[in-house]
Amino acid sequence: MSKKNVLVAQSGGPTVAINASLAGVIQGVLDSEKYDTIYGSIYGILGILENNLMNLSEKVSESKNFLDTLKVSPAMYLGSCRYKLPDYEDDDATYTFIFNQLKKYNIGAFFYIGGNDSMDTVLKLSHYGEQIGSDVRIIGIPKTIDNDLCETDHTPGFGSAAKYVAATILEVAHDTFIYSVPSVTILEIMGRDAGWLTAASALARNDYNTAPHLIYLPEVAFDRQQFVSDIKAQLAKRNNVIVAVSEGIRDKAGNYISASTATNDQFGHSQLSGTGKCLEYLVKEEINVKCRSIEINVLQRAAAHCSSLTDLDESVMLGRQAVAEAEKGNTKCMMTLNRISNTPYKCEIGFAGIDHIANEAKSVPREWINEAGNDITPALLEYLAPLIIGEPDIQYKNGLPVYLPVEHLDTGK
């Protein structure tokens, strides 16, 4: 039987581990006796629709450090997209086109590395493929800094983002503690629906650092007056209070805190200010104290120079194992990480049917948040701790980290 080729793509928001999974898939194909050439689809599923593919086998053979550098490079080497496939009952033509493309390139397996929305694409393509009797294996490989995918203990990209958030809180604590003047510092952390990443701020606590002193997650309804009381209670105990807050906190009625501070810009248009900025205004209004808010912004998903080696290693393994599962005939599934033990930390690779993953989200369990709703429990800290361990070997040139060139994405018009 002649060898088939492989297609891989990346989708959704960036993480620093999504290229590590790509490196794993490529390595899996290089090691495979069943698969031949590996193609990458540029800009996620759009590359297939627009016939924009890249021969990754050639790229690897051209550059000897390709896979090592790819593993530590942030964001998506192949580019990304935010494209939702139509339902195939409504639009059969898109699906016909995609499966014709797979046939044209002699594709035996398609791997889609992404988050919730990308698993929706895996689900739809799997179902359609099944319906038309296609033998193309379709497997999802998870990634998201939000850590909110079901069926997997945690998601690739989360551990590195958690490490960055914790390191940032620690460094901001050093920055804040230097003044004897009382102050409140609020850090706004990503995670619109799940508080996993905000919870990771607690990893910054150590023998001498007590920050963050308060933690607010979207899983608990946010109460402004309680928040003000919490801050006052902390200020009675120490000069410099540091708060970690999720961008997604909502009040009892379900309204985002950020949305409640609509302000008018210079053109008279309504603009939403961020959650951290909103709480900064609240503190300044209710308590006579110096207050600063910091939005960590995209750096928490892009700072590859501060990645977790545990995260990158697991991401590579998921990619390699995905190829092995496809070889065995598995399809219509997403690769998963299954934690065996915490001490010592041990995690195995598995897979789960895609039906129960796409379009569902995993929140922080209420029992992992303290009763007052302003901190996390030791059990959650124990879950988080192993995920940020280890530092990858990043090369530096001219004082800056060396990442894989992406000039094919910074295109002229």
Catalytic residue list: 146
Task: Tell me how far CA of residue 21 lies from CA of 17, 189, 357, in angstroms.
Answer: 7, 25, 19
- Helix 18-31 × helix 309-327 angle, to 10°: 40
- 183-189 and 346-353: which strand pairing? unpaired
Tell me: does residue 234 bind a second copy (CB under 8 A).
Answer: no
| Residue 173 touching a second copy (CB under 8 A) | yes
Interface pick for a second copy out of 100, 239, 255, 342 (rule CB under 8 A):
239
What is d(CA 218, CA 193) in angstroms, rounded to the nearest whole number? 6
At closest approach, how far in Å is the CB of 159 from a second copy?
9
Nearer to a second copy (CB atom), residue 51 or residue 271: 271
Nearest distance in Å: CB 102, a second copy:
21
Please report, as residue ranges, which positions from 42 to 101 form the binding site for a second copy (by CB under 8 A): 43, 46, 73-76, 79-82
- In the region spanning residues 256 to 275, those forming contacts with a second copy, defined by CB under 8 A, are 260-261, 263-267, 269, 271, 273
The size of the interface with a second copy (CB under 8 A), counted in residues, is 84
Q: Which of 84, 238, 346, 356 binds a second copy (CB under 8 A)?
A: 238
Map the footprint of a second copy across residues 271-300, applying CB under 8 A. 271, 273, 278, 281, 285, 292, 294-295, 297-299
Does 8 bind a second copy (CB under 8 A)? Our answer is no
For a second copy, the closer of residues 32 and 147 by Cβ is: 147
Counted residue by residue, the chain has a size of 413
d(CA 392, CA 260): 41
The reply to whether 304 sits near a second copy by the rule CB under 8 A is yes
Q: Are 148 and 254 in contact (CB under 8 A)?
A: no
Tokens standing for residue 88? 């195939």
61 C-beta neighbours (distance < 10 Å), count = 11
CB 352 to a second copy: min, Å:
27
86 preceded by a cis bond (ω within 30 of 0): no
- State which of positions 202-231 bind a second copy (CB under 8 A): 203-204, 206-211
What secondary structure letter does DSSP report for 410?
A: S
- Tell me the closest approach of the beta carbon of residue 279 to a second copy, in angstroms: 11
Categorise residue 304: left if φ over 0, alpha if ψ from -120 to 50, beta otherwise. Answer: alpha
